[in-house]
Structure 1
């Protein structure tokens, strides 16, 4: 049903470009506008059209019927348009597409009928005749499923957009589509990925399954996705993954597992992801990351671990880090003790991570890890909860030593006074005071032993209290 222009002899004298432009405009449907730039485009969007126009220019390469009131597409609804490459039917009220509605569009490359809320069913022969179709957009309709054999005549199909429908499983129609490179299935109601859901998709590079209800992934579900590069699996209901969930995905560059219910990260998950550059594990409930989890991620640039329940991140878990450029750790209840001393040093050295707020111990709660003081005693790290954080480490050591020496001196003087005040008892027990240096000289009596026992007790108590940050308390001066 394209419009053929009757040519006159005078038209034969005009340049071909002028003739084409004239034919495109001359055959333009009512309520539409036609432009001829590189090719003939028919613009009928926002025109209040309730039925598909009866005639289009035969030269039309693109037709836009978006945001109209179309309700029904009959068989061969657009006639024969051999030059048509793009047909857009977005935002209409289409409820039924007759089988063979697109026959006559043999060279159509892209078909769009997204945002048609009344389309809940597609016939097996809906796309009959579209053998050169490369891109299909049927997102945000009311589809609950599509027939398994619906794409048999579309061997060139590379990109399918099916997001925001009502699929409860991945349609079997996609299995075996060897040329499919992009598949959009986000914001459906998919509950599981079966072992055969994605079989035969050896060319797939982009897969989006985010914002579904997936809680089960079968072993080997992704085994054929050997060329996959971008994988969105975020905002589902995953509590765990198969042991070798991503085995064979050696070309994967971006993996998003954020917004799930994962509590543990297994070192077996990412073993084959040698080209992975970006990994999202944020917004889960992670408590533990197994040692060796990241050891094969030699291309990793960005790692998101924020918004989890992590309290510590041992160095062996995080080694080796090769080309990491960004690390996100905020919104975790970090325990800023000596186990994170390495992370503070790494943060200061490489400036690749910010915002590591401490949740405990109480002495540093609310501080960033970069503000925490880690002192050392005899080469051993001392947790910040055991120190006065307003004092520099050298001052802490000096103050502690002075107070300790002072206490020992007072105890000795107290023992001396007691000995001198009771000379008879001292002589009886053989305990004498050396007049030259004020030290007690031992005899065979028990006061020397009692004094030594008291001093040793005080030393032990003092060291204990000092270690738990309570050196300002009065130590017990007697032991039983």
Structure 2
């Protein structure tokens, strides 16, 4: 072993007289040329390490005598080209490292005699293409490293003859497309990396049966979506890294259908805007889920219903405006939750999650960074966990409801108290005295529609954070009008915040002012008409008087 020296020359007979040598290590020197017969007596040599030198070319005669060689390392040199028969006699070779050279292409038959090869490292070269059939004779290969090249395309069926392969790395190349069925017949593969490729689309039939695959890395691509069956044949996957895909906006709801053993799923730093409630329904063993740095505005309430073993969930730096109050109800194993950096809209719909945060502060790992309101402006930077119904004006909204019997009979309205069943989201309110045709009730948020009947009043609401046993419905600033039709009471409301609030309120004011102007104009017109009628009446009376005087005068004559 001679390493990290200034050695730049080896004499042709340097190793003669030492046929017993099993290992020669000449790494990290300044060697550029090897005499052709320098290893001619080393027939027992098993390990030859020439990495980290200045070697520019390698002759096939250099390795003619080392027929028992099992490990050859030529990495970190300046090799730009290899003859097709350079490794022809190395039939026992197990490990070949050609990484960090300047190879642009490889002869199609370069590895055909290396039937015992188990590890082939070709990373960090300048390879642009790979010839069809290049790996057809490597049936015992376990590791194939092709990352950090310039590969733009691969031929179909390139990997079909590698049944023993455990690790395949194609990351950091220039692949935009992959042929269909590229990764078929790889039943023993345990790790696959495709990250840092400008992939635009993936074919529907890409992955074959891989029952042993545990790690898949597919990040930093140009994918906008992925096929629904991408992971369907990978039932033993433990880790999926599908992150840093800035154009990935959607995921098929059946994408993770067949991954009962998945423990870590990273979807961070994508461009996801919404997630289907069934997306994670089959990930029963999921422990780590990273959804941070996306553009999610909310999540379905049932999205985590089957992830009872989820321990870590990262949702920070999304566009979350609200979350259902029961969204984490089934994540009983949750220990680390991250929620900061979102755009929480602090209206009445936020109270459910605000109360959950208040009750589970130890689960929120970034609570000290501030989980605060983004809008409305008067509540900006207000802590979610300290919000109250009074602050959001969710307490009292008052209105009067006429039952069907009251509408038809014209009975006198009276007030009664209603009890709300807390077990149902569409609730039935039973009156304390059903002889009263009109009812006043209390709600923490205004209902959208109320339908009274002689026996019950039905209330429909959405995003109600909490149901209380006694509810009163009072008039609030959001209710601007109500009317009755066929026994139903319709409430016309204007949200206190949001993009349409100002417009709707301005429209309401304009309509109100227009109505007042029309009324004033009508009154003015009536006044003018009245004056005209009076004047017409005076003219008529004068004409009648003159006529009588003329007749009287004629009689006298």
Distance 1:280 1:368, change over 3 A: farther
Which consecutive residues of structure 1, in runs of 5 or more, have no partner in the other structure?
1-41, 377-382, 409-432, 435-453
Equivalent residue, structure 2, for 1:302: 264
RMSD: 4.0
Determine if contact 2:186/2:208 at 8 Å carries over to the other structure.
no
1:463 aligns with 2:493: yes
Determine if contact 2:68/2:93 at 8 Å carries over to the other structure.
yes
Aligned residue among 29, 32, 38 for 1:68? 29
Shift of 1:193: 2.4
TM-score by length of 1: 0.70
Cα deviations across residues 269-319 of structure 1 (Å, max 9, x unaligned)?
A: 111110111111101121111111101011111111011111222221221
CA distance in 2, matches of 1:319, 1:366: 27
Shift of 1:93: 1.5
CA distance in 1, matches of 2:3, 2:272: 55
Shift of 1:204: 1.0
CA distance in 2, matches of 1:73, 1:133: 20
Determine if contact 1:182/1:204 at 8 Å carries over to the other structure.
yes
> How does 1:389-404 map onto structure 2 within 5 Å?
395=389, 399-400=393-394, 402-404=396-398
> How does 1:49-448 map onto structure 2 within 5 Å?
49-51=8-10, 54-56=13-15, 57-117=18-78, 119-171=79-131, 172-284=133-245, 285-336=247-298, 339-342=299-302, 350-359=310-319, 361=321, 366-367=341-342, 374-375=350-351, 395=389, 399-400=393-394, 402-404=396-398
Shift of 1:139: 0.7
What secondary structure is seen at the aligned counterpart in 1 of 2:495? helix
CA distance in 2, matches of 1:264, 1:300: 20
Determine if contact 1:176/1:199 at 8 Å carries over to the other structure.
no
What secondary structure is seen at the aligned counterpart in 2 of 1:136? strand
Shift of 1:360: 5.1
CA distance in 2, matches of 1:52, 1:259: 49
Between 76-85 and 213-222, report the one with greater CA deviation.
76-85
Distance 1:461 1:131, change over 3 A: same
Determine if contact 1:169/1:191 at 8 Å carries over to the other structure.
yes
Choose 1 or 2 for highest CA Rg. 2
Determine if contact 1:106/1:132 at 8 Å carries over to the other structure.
yes
CA distance in 1, matches of 2:110, 2:206: 29
CA distance in 2, matches of 1:470, 1:176: 70
Determine if contact 1:169/1:193 at 8 Å carries over to the other structure.
yes
What secondary structure is seen at the aligned counterpart in 2 of 1:101? helix
Equivalent residue, structure 1, for 2:408: none
What secondary structure is seen at the aligned counterpart in 2 of 1:100? helix
Distance 1:195 1:144, change over 3 A: same
Which consecutive residues of structure 2, in runs of 5 or more, have no partner in the other structure?
324-338, 353-372, 401-411, 414-479, 516-557
